[in-house]
Amino acid sequence: MAALISEIVYRGIFQKNLAARIARGIVFSARKSGRWGIAFGRYGDSPQRNGIPAKDFAIVADSKEELEQNMARFEPKHTDVTIVLDDTLAKGVESWAWYGLQPINRLTVPNGTVLMTSVQSFEELLKDIHKKDAPYTLALLRAKASFSGLWVHKEDHTEARVLGALAKIAPSFLTLDAVCAAVKEMEWGSDLKAESAKKAHGRLETRGVKMTEGNAEIPYSFQMPKWWEMREGVTIPAIPVGKPKEAGKGYVPERNPYFKKFTTRTMRPVIDFDTCVKCTLCWIQCPDSCFDV
């Protein structure tokens, strides 16, 4: 008896549909191979935020009983395959559901696989991926990150290519024939996408990663208080008002000391004052007080 546990790490909203297709495709392919499977999203990611890292999981097992054993956990504590749909996540995952930075390979088991869509070299990616206390395999599917939206999907065959690559990584659970059959029968599938899965299976690049390789930096983290250490009450201190502007026209709010999400930030909000109508919606909604009104 055995099980294959996969996590799909993606950018919330922008890759939500893509991750769901991959997770369901894994389960459907497993059923085609005569196995049991289930796919589900991480509870802590709901509701998702635009671009904030999120996770889906897919579990495949040889028997119904073993699948139920793995389903008994709130979410998997380890994964055989970590699928990364955006290579900027190589430097770590910082979800809105917790504080601190988690290495992208934190849940990957020893000798497991990190499958990533990227056009970068192995060496460039390993500059960002944190070191792990066990060897693992880094597998690259040559493609740029596929972004779309909540109600639309970018038909670039990424989901089919990932499934084809997974068939090469774990052939004992997902055969290429089963993946192709599943891709053809899925509501988003086609014969052309099945061919893309076959090509990805043949073109997948892999490299063994030693314990001595990777980013040696210690991930940014917080020491969270225990529930018995918290003060009484259910209120949260508000953001300080800050300094008033000249001539009394509003004020500059202080930065939010409780919202530290800067370690994986790649962009900052910019105001276009030529089109701004002073509706103050950005000021009301921004959790980090980035906007001055």
What confidence score (pLDDT) does residue 270 get?
Answer: 74
Q: What is the domain partition of the chain in residue ranges?
A: 3-209, 232-293
What confidence score (pLDDT) does residue 236 get?
Answer: 64
CA distance 82 to 176: 19
Q: Is the pLDDT of residue 135 over 70?
A: yes
Q: Which two tokens stand for residue 136?
A: 């693992």
Taking residues 25-46, what's their average pLDDT?
89
Residue 225 binned pLDDT confidence (cut-offs 50, 70, 90): confident
CATH class of 3-209: alpha beta
Find tokens 């897919």 and name the residue: 58
What confidence score (pLDDT) does residue 48 get?
Answer: 81
Among 21-35, 67-81, 167-181, 236-250, the minimum mean pLDDT is found in 236-250
Taking residues 76-92, what's their average pLDDT?
94
Q: Which two tokens stand for residue 168?
A: 């090469």
